[in-house]
């Protein structure tokens, strides 16, 4: 079976659970009232369960959704899950069953199938997190609108936002439920990211098709891309959209030879989301050796050079130049290697799960009285697998910025959304970084809920003595830092390793 049917099946179950959870949670009646009329929630449960083979079990399970301690079942998981879990929790029984040859084969089948569950769950969490980001981006467009349209849209989208958040919560529980089964050999994580379980003899996962194997076994330099833009190098004043039907697109012939530039901006009347010179929506996009620019200038405020929404996007040896909001790492999984990004305010922002490896971030001269912030990560839900990770990167200033660095300070970032998450590790921080390191967004917003960490950095800007003391600032060790490497955080062994770009799965030795 291919990936899509399995994922659709899981999503269908989750969708039903979300619908029932909301229906039950809103109008569930408890004992008393003296009425024999079924409540709206009871009718909803009966309707949902009508097509099933085991109607009574379905109704009993879903009807109990709102009576259990919600803290014990994040996201409103139906209480039938724990009951089902009890039936197979006894590992001793499973071990005894394994003594029988047929039972042992069945157990091996389960191990093989459940070993793939983590992959599906990871994908679901990324995609559902992307849904949350899309919903929030929609609402963000109304922030500077003077009409009541924004508030009306917020009310209209309230239910869908709750449903998506509940779905993400339920998906997040799946690994824990499987782990709690306590079946020997289940739930072992692929922490290295370099190889997956169930490898075929050629070193690729068993689910990779024959056609895909042939492509992956080729020398990357011999693979012909779907589209090549600016093969001979030039300066292109245009706007490019790589839509959802375009994948595996490679563009460029050198960041100093090929530039795609534009100047759409907020001040002149374009919403930030639409200002991007290049917008990547399609999955599995790859760009190498090219420069993306928004030349609107600091005076025009928000002006995006590159916006990336496509899942599993890769950028190698690229340059992104702008001022405010240069690189919009909007959503899904993204990997940047040997890239250069320049800007002034929030010039790396969005809610993607992004790893920036061996990249350079250059602060440019801002307008008078402006401060500079490199990042503005926008994680909206605490269960999202999103966040910005900077590994072996350099944070420095452009020549025109250095003379004004004392009055226009630079900060590593600020929290755009309530669960903003940014990790900077094994990186060079020049003296442009202010001693307090991080800047608030507004007042005390998100200072307790953000997740910011610095680990094993170097340079004068890496000194921790005078860093802010917010509750959300984390002190992590090497084991925790490992969880944010490309191999683990992005599961890069599945899609980056064979892409023909430099890639380090774990911590970089010697740093």
Q: Which residues are catalytic?
A: 346
Closest CA to 307 of 258, 363, 257, 354: 354
Could you give phi then psi for residue 341, rounded to 5 degrees?
A: -130, 130
Structural tokens at position 490: 């992005």
Closest CA to 227 of 250, 260, 253, 259: 250
Largest Cα–Cα distance in the chain? 80
Q: Where are the beta strands (DSSP E) in 344-491?
A: 345-350, 353-357, 360-363, 372-377, 387-391, 394-397, 410-413, 421-425, 428-429, 451-455, 473-474
Strand partners, 175: none
What gap in Å lies between CA 269 and CA 262, rounded to an integer? 15
What gap in Å lies between CA 471 and CA 474, rounded to an integer? 8
What gap in Å lies between CA 157 and CA 136, rounded to an integer? 9
What gap in Å lies between CA 8 and CA 136, rounded to an integer? 24
Instruction: Specify the DSSP class assigned to residue 403.
Output: G
Instruction: Specify the DSSP class assigned to residue 302.
Output: B
What gap in Å lies between CA 378 and CA 383, rounded to an integer? 13
Residue 191: which residues within 8 A CB-CB, separation 6 or more? 482, 487, 488
Of all helices (H) and strands (E), which one includes residue 315?
Answer: strand 313-316
Do residues 333 and 309 lie in contact, with contact meaning Cβ atoms separated by under 8 Å? no
C-alpha dihedral over 341, 346, 350, 353, to 10 degrees? 60
Structural tokens at position 328: 């919009």
Helix (H, G, I), strand (E, B) or coil at 91: helix
C-alpha dihedral over 400, 405, 407, 412, to 10 degrees? 120
What gap in Å lies between CA 287 and CA 338, rounded to an integer? 12
What gap in Å lies between CA 120 and CA 483, rounded to an integer? 19
Q: How many other C-beta atoms are found inside a 10 Å radius of the C-beta of residue 222?
A: 7
């Amino acid at each position: 079976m291919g990936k899509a049917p399995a994922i659709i099946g899981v999503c269908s179950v989750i969708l039903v659970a979300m619908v029932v959870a909301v229906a039950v949670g809103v109008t569930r009646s408890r004992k008393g009232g003296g009425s024999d009329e079924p409540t709206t929630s009871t009718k909803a449960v009966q309707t949902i369960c009508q097509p099933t083979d085991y109607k009574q079990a379905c109704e009993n399970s879903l009807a109990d959704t709102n009576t259990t301690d919600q803290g014990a079942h994040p996201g409103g998981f139906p209480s039938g899950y724990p009951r089902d879990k009890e039936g197979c929790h006894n590992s001793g029984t499973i071990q005894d069953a394994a003594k029988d040859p047929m039972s042992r084969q069945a157990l091996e089948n389960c191990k093989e199938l459940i070993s793939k569950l983590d992959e599906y769950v990871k994908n679901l969490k990324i995609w559902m997190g992307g849904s949350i980001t899309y919903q929030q981006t929609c609402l963000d467009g109304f922030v500077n609108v003077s009409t009541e349209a924004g508030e009306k849209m917020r009310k209209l989208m309230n239910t869908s936002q709750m449903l998506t958040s509940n779905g993400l919560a339920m998906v997040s529980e799946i690994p824990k439920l499987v782990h709690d089964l306590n079946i020997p050999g289940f739930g072992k994580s692929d922490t290295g990211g370099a190889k997956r379980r169930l490898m075929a003899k050629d070193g690729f996962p068993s689910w990779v098709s024959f056609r895909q194997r042939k492509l992956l076994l080729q020398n990357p330099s011999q693979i012909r891309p779907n589209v090549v833009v600016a093969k001979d190098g030039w300066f292109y004043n245009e706007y490019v959209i790589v839509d959802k039907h375009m994948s595996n697109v490679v563009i460029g012939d050198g960041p100093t030879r090929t530039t795609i530039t534009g100047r759409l901006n907020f001040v002149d009347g374009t919403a930030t989301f639409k200002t991007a010179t290049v917008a990547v929506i399609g999955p599995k996009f790859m760009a190498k050796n090219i420069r993306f620019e928004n030349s609107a200038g600091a005076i025009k405020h928000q002006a995006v050079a590159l916006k990336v929404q496509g899942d599993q996007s890769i950028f190698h040896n690229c340059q992104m130049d702008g001022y405010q909001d240069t690189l919009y790492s909007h959503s899904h999984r993204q990997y940047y290697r040997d890239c250069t990004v320049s800007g002034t305010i929030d010039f790396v922002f969005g809610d993607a799960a992004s790893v920036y490896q061996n990249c350079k971030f250059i602060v440019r001269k801002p307008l008078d009285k402006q401060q500079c912030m490199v990042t503005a990560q926008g994680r909206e839900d605490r269960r999202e697998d999103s966040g910005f990770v900077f590994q072996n990167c350099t944070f420095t200033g452009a020549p025109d910025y250095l003379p004004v660095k004392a009055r226009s300070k630079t900060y590593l970032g600020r929290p755009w959304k309530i669960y903003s998450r940014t990790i900077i590790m094994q990186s060079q921080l020049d003296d442009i970084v202010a001693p307090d390191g991080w800047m608030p967004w507004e007042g005390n917003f998100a200072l307790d809920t953000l997740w910011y960490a610095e680990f094993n950095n170097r340079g004068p800007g890496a000194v921790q003595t005078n860093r802010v003391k917010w509750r959300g600032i984390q002190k992590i060790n090497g084991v925790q830092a490992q969880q944010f490497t490309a191999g683990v955080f992005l599961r890069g062994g599945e899609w980056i390793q064979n892409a023909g770009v430099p890639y380090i799965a774990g911590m970089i030795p010697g740093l």
